[in-house]
A = this chain, B = another copy of it.
């Protein structure tokens, strides 16, 4: 069975009533519930020892989902090192919304991962631009999120290996909302939708994307990654 760890910063759910109202048990609980019919799902949060990601836990993880927002800097470099190493060895990584600014995402992509934003609660329409991609399985040609925070281009990331979604925003912006990368033997998927004060992760199609992305990011057996001196 595929082992999934949902990581959440889990801060504003404990301090901000508006966030509590939407995600009373934390964003990780909502995401885990969306996944758990098909996978062995566990959660981990920033304030646990080792941020809930000690070495043995990471080694057992096939796919790690990452949500962070206001405390990216509190994630220890040791944990970032370990997650990076695991990804290069094949662990899948799914980075959500404001996680674009997480240390681990910037570490693996090498760019600033900066973007434009506006917290206006206007409509987003997510378009599938790669209809044959496994992460688009079972989706309509587009779907709407009635209220979101806008993210706009330029998005300072490397050109994705595959671009699956492009978002349209009511206010006039566009964004590459579903970006696939391979780094080492690990599959990385960045998915834009998600916000702490809108119930984005309750949305049927968003949940479908999360399940599809876990499937896609699950490690393969692969071929040896042997480095160093040769005879």
Contacts from A to B (Cβ < 8 Å): 84, 88, 90, 107-112, 114-118, 125, 127-134, 136-141, 150, 152-156, 158-159, 161-163, 166-169, 172-174, 176, 181-187, 219-231
Copies, count: 4
**Interface contact A131-B118, CB-CB below 8 Å:** no
- Cα A180 to Cα B230 in complex, Å, equals 26
A134 proximity list for chain B (CB < 8 A):
220
Task: Supply 25 A–B pairs (Cβ within 8 Å), ascending by A.
Answer: A111-B183, A111-B184, A115-B227, A117-B228, A117-B229, A127-B152, A127-B153, A129-B155, A129-B176, A131-B154, A131-B185, A131-B223, A131-B224, A132-B185, A132-B222, A132-B225, A134-B220, A138-B223, A153-B166, A156-B225, A158-B181, A159-B182, A162-B182, A167-B174, A174-B174
**Interface contact A114-B174, CB-CB below 8 Å:** no
A219 proximity list for chain B (CB < 8 A):
132
- Cα A90 to Cα B90 in complex, Å, equals 27
**Interface contact B153-A230, CB-CB below 8 Å:** no
A182 proximity list for chain B (CB < 8 A):
130, 132, 158-159, 162
A184 proximity list for chain B (CB < 8 A):
111-112, 132, 156
- Cα A123 to Cα B84 in complex, Å, equals 36
- Cα A225 to Cα B152 in complex, Å, equals 12
- Cα A87 to Cα B138 in complex, Å, equals 19
B115, B137, B163, B230: which contacts A163 (Cβ < 8 A)?
A: B163
B110, B118, B154: which contacts A183 (Cβ < 8 A)?
A: B110
Nearest-CB residue, chain B, relative to A139 = B223
**Interface contact B158-A159, CB-CB below 8 Å:** no
Q: Nearest chain B CB to A126's CB is how many angstroms away?
A: 10
B116, B158, B169: which contacts A226 (Cβ < 8 A)?
A: B116
**Interface contact A172-B110, CB-CB below 8 Å:** no
- Cα A159 to Cα B164 in complex, Å, equals 10
B140, B176, B181, B183: which contacts A224 (Cβ < 8 A)?
A: B140
